[in-house]
Structure 1
C-alpha cells in the first residue's frame, strides 16, 4: 500500500476509544463527550455526534432570574446549550487547544469565552467584572465553576499556569487571561506608562493583579471582546 493513501489517512485520523470516561481528548483540539444523560456545552460548539442526542438552547429562566439578568449584561458569549441523551458528542471551538479539569470540590474561574463544556453536577455562576466593563470593548466576564465533575476549557495555543503566593503577586493582560483558582479575587490596575510605551489602545494599560495563594492560567494570545452593540 502506497504512502499517503486514503486508507493511511483514515487509519491515522479515525476516532479511537480510550476509555477515559465522560470527557476524552480525541485530539488536542477536539473533545469527545461520552454522553449518558446530560451535559452543558458552549452554544455552537457541536461538531458531530452519533447516537440519540437532543440539543436545546439554554432556557431564559432555567437558572433563575439573577443569572438571566447577568446573561443580558454579558451578551452572547455566555450562551450555553444542553445536550441530552446517549451517544458520542464531539465539540470544539475555533481550533483552540482543550484542557480537561476534573473538579474534586474545588472552584475555578474561567473566562466566559474559554469555557467549552461541563457536567451538570458542577455548580456555576456568571460574574461580570463591572469595574473594567467601561475600559475594555464589551467588558469582561467569567464563569465560576465549583463542585465535583468534569469541565473542559480552551486556550489559543498552549496554556501557561503561573503560581501566585502572598509575597509574589502576578499581573496579567485581561485579554490573555484564561482562568484562575477560586481562591483568588483579581483587582484591576492601570499603568499609563505601559500604555504610552506600547502605543496601543486603552485596553493595554489595564492589568489584572492576582494576590494571595492560588494560580492563574494565561495564553500566548490576546482575545478581543466585542459587545453586542459593536
Structure 2
C-alpha cells in the first residue's frame, strides 16, 4: 500500500482528496501547512506528496525546492496542486521540482490517474545493468550517475530521462515519444513538461561537463550524442 501525504490548507478539499485516495487503496496522511508537512516527512517518508502551491506561511513552491535540495527527500515524488493556470506558473512549479502539476478545480479521477502514473514511473529498475556513454555512467541499481568519479545528483524524472537517452544514444526522440517512453501514461501531461525536465537535466550535467551531450534537434526533439565535440575537457 502506497503512503500519500496530502498538503492542503483547505479542509474540504483535503478531506475530499483523502476519502477518494483511501477508497482507491492508498494510505493517506494530511498536513495543513508546510511546517506540519515537514514534520510528517521527517516522521515517515511518504511514497508521494500531493502539495498545494498556496499554503499559509511557507508556500508549497518553497517547500518543494527545500525537499529537492535535501538528500533524504531529493527523489520524493511531488504532484503540485494550484489555482494558477498560466504556463509561467506551471513552469515555475516544475522548475521547483514537481513531477506533475494539476490545476484547480480538478476531478479526483484525474488526480488518481496522475498519482498512479507517477508511482509507476518511480518503480525501481534495479535489475537493469549500468550504462556508459562517453564516460558518463548511469547505474540503475544504485540510481547513481557519474563521470570520472564525480557524481551527478538527479531527481527521479531526470534520472529516468537520462536513462532512456543513454540506452538509445544518437537517436532523435520527439517530445511525444519521450512522454510515452519516459512518463508512460501521459494523457494529462503537456509536451512543455519535457522541455522543463531536459533543462534541469542539462543543468545537473554541467557539473561533469556533459550538458552538451543532450542536443536539441530543431523541429524534431532531443537526442543524446557521444560525439567528442559534445564533451568538454
* TM-score, length-scaled by structure 1: 0.26
Which structure: greater strand fraction?
Answer: 1
The structure with more radius of gyration: 1
Which structure: greater helix fraction?
Answer: 2
* TM-score, length-scaled by structure 2: 0.26
